[in-house]
Amino acid sequence: MQKGSLPNLTPDEITRYSRHIILPNVGLEGQKKLKKSRVLIVGGGALGSPIGLYLASAGVGTIGIADFDEVDVSNLQRQIIHKTKNIGKKKTLSAKEAILDINPHINVLTFDTKITAQNALEVLKDFDIVADCTDNFPARYLINDACVLLDKPLVYGSIFRFEGQSSVFWSKKGACYRCVFPTPPSVGFAPSCAEAGVFGVLPGIIGSIQANEIIKLIIGAENKTLINRLLVFDAWNMKFKELRLQKDDNCPICSKTPSIKELIDYEFFCGVKDKEEIIVKNISAEELKQKIDNNEKINIIDVREKDEFDIAHIRGSRLIPLSEISARKSEIDIKIPTVVLCKSGIRSAYAIKKLKKDEFKGELLNLEDGILAWARKIDKTMTKY
């Protein structure tokens, strides 16, 4: 996979990596390949944490981390690369600190930015392997397409509640992400970890599998990786299953006659953005509080799941989960304004768009920043999650 001469190892490095070097399938040459390699981790959170730590321990010479978020206390349940002392710090810097604390011999590059169609090719081009540790579909399709265009292997991982998946997508060797998932799910029905929850140890398992695949790719054991295989793990029932994958001869990005030859608008492709944008009007937490205090007639519809609603909710609100909003729209009085809310304002905006597409006639308002804003600005005793 790598071209050119390999770097020498210092005596300190030989001692550090000795348990690798004495392995017949790694050896001194394999360890030198690790030192020469450059791996980009897109997403410095749950999946990126074990990958960063294990690649650093293994002696990967250059590790890139791309993330635009900051460390939050709710991250610490699963994002083991970050520490309590780093709450509020940029994730890229927090991760870099942890990686260099494990191994000061390596180089860490940080990209404190969102990977977009405008910058993806430039950011990815100088790395040998890309690890997809993102939590949304526009990012996954974007990273896949960029890797196909740049002819780079993509080590994929995803997590949802108790289930995780991992594979290696490399178009010149087999299937890419689009071959397996040609169309994204409907908007709002594949929530992120922040919205759906995730079993804390799950990303540690899936991220470690990704790190395992990356190391094997680097040392030249491509035929032992998850190329053309999708590994699915059920943490609750402690079961693994494997699905065989096949390259799609009609894939729009990696076939011999691709229709996609450059990066596209991935939010539009995934339905996050409408062709004709449906306008969603916001209402602030303060404005909603004033309406309640003035005894104005208003519907307050909470589109989160029941477990979330039970943790914290606004008094007088009614639970109609997002998945049921179309079927139960007749329960909402169209004669008075309706405020729709969720945790952060994302699912509620989807719900409003769906209701408008379903020709709901009443006035719809989205609670800006959701129940998090209510807890931050109105009811500071409310439990945050």
Task: Write out the residue limits of the CATH 3.40.50.720 domain(s) in the chain.
Answer: 37-269
Q: Is 167 in a helix, a strand, or coil?
A: strand
Considering the chain, tell me which residue range(s) the CATH 3.40.250.10 domain(s) occupy.
282-377
CA 28 vs CA 54, 106, 216: distances in Å: 18, 17, 14
Per the CB < 8 A criterion, the answer to whether 140 and 134 are in contact is yes
- Residue pair 51/138 in contact by the 8 Å Cβ criterion: no
* Per-residue pLDDT at 144: 98
Residue 190: per-residue pLDDT: 64
Q: What is the pLDDT of residue 185?
A: 84
- For residue 129, what are its two tokens? 């392997």
Nearest in space to 34 (alpha carbons), one of 49, 14, 48: 14
* Class of domain 37-269 as given by CATH: alpha beta
* Torsion angle of the four alpha carbons 210, 155, 166, 321, in this order, in degrees rounded to the nearest 10: 110
Beta-sheet strands, E only, within 95-197:
107-111, 129-132, 154-160, 163-169
Give the other-Cβ count within 10 Å of 241's Cβ: 9
Q: Which residues contact 198 (CB under 8 A, 6 or more apart)?
A: 46, 78, 159, 160, 161
Predicted local confidence at residue 269, as pLDDT: 87
Q: What is the pLDDT of residues 207-234, one digit of tens each?
A: 999 999 999 999 999 999 999 999 999 9
**What DSSP character marks residue 210?**
H
CB atoms within 10 A of CB 276: 5
Q: What residue ranges of the chain have pLDDT lower than 50? A: none
- Residue 192 is predicted with a pLDDT of 66
What residues act catalytically? 193, 342
CB atoms within 10 A of CB 137: 21
Residue-wise pLDDT for 293-304, tens only, equals: 999 999 999 999
Contact 270, 137 (CB under 8 A): yes
What is the per-residue pLDDT for 187? 64
Model-level pTM?
Answer: 0.80
CB-based contact 146:123 (threshold 8 Å): no
> Which pLDDT belongs to residue 267?
85
Q: Would you put residue 369 in left (φ > 0), alpha (ψ -120 to 50) or beta?
A: left
Question: What CATH topology corresponds to 282-377?
Answer: Oxidized Rhodanese; domain 1 (3.40.250)
Secondary structure (3-state) at 142: helix
Start-to-end C-alpha separation, the chain = 44
Tokens of 240: 């693994």
The pLDDT of residue 195: 67
